Amino acid sequence: MSVTTTRPARSTTATRALWTAQILLGLFLIVASAGPKLFGETSAVEIFTQIGIGQWFRYLVGVLELLGGVGLLIRRSAGAAALGLVGLMIGAAFTQAFVLHGGLLVLTPIVIGVIVGVIAWARRGEIRGLLG
């Protein structure tokens, strides 16, 4: 039995908006989010010290953000990367809210999570293709 996947029909404007969001968010995750964690920026080290799990966790989150950011820039992996980033942002929001008691800082992972959720939904055909 052969399973075929078809991409949902999208307008040119919707396709451009999707790619724009993927590129901007991918670059943000690579440069502004993963970079400080992987290079040991003081504020990133302090945040992960407050979390209390250890600095290995900072490296893990940094690598996951780096892979997710790069994944968003590659058509074949964009949907799966977005789906993985949804999970990462859920964890980040809970950590920000309940471990770090970050107040309004919880909005950052929530907003990013919603954006990658929309990307994952729009790329659901590609995700099915990877799983099939």
Question: What is the pLDDT at residue 6?
Answer: 52
Q: pTM, whole model, 2 decimals?
A: 0.90
Question: What is the pLDDT at residue 100?
Answer: 96
* Residue 35 backbone zone (phi > 0: left; psi -120 to 50: alpha; other: beta): alpha
Question: What is the pLDDT at residue 10?
Answer: 80
CA gap 112, 120 in Å, rounded: 12
The answer to whether residues 22 and 83 touch, using CB atoms and an 8 Å cutoff, is no
Tens digit of pLDDT for each residue in 50-83? 999 999 999 999 999 999 999 999 999 999 999 9
Q: Which residues in the chain land under pLDDT 50? A: 1-3
The answer to whether residues 10 and 121 touch, using CB atoms and an 8 Å cutoff, is no
The answer to whether residues 86 and 114 touch, using CB atoms and an 8 Å cutoff, is no
CA gap 35, 19 in Å, rounded: 22
Here the tokens at position 2 are: 């052969």
CA gap 46, 39 in Å, rounded: 13
- Residue for token digits 């799966």? 80
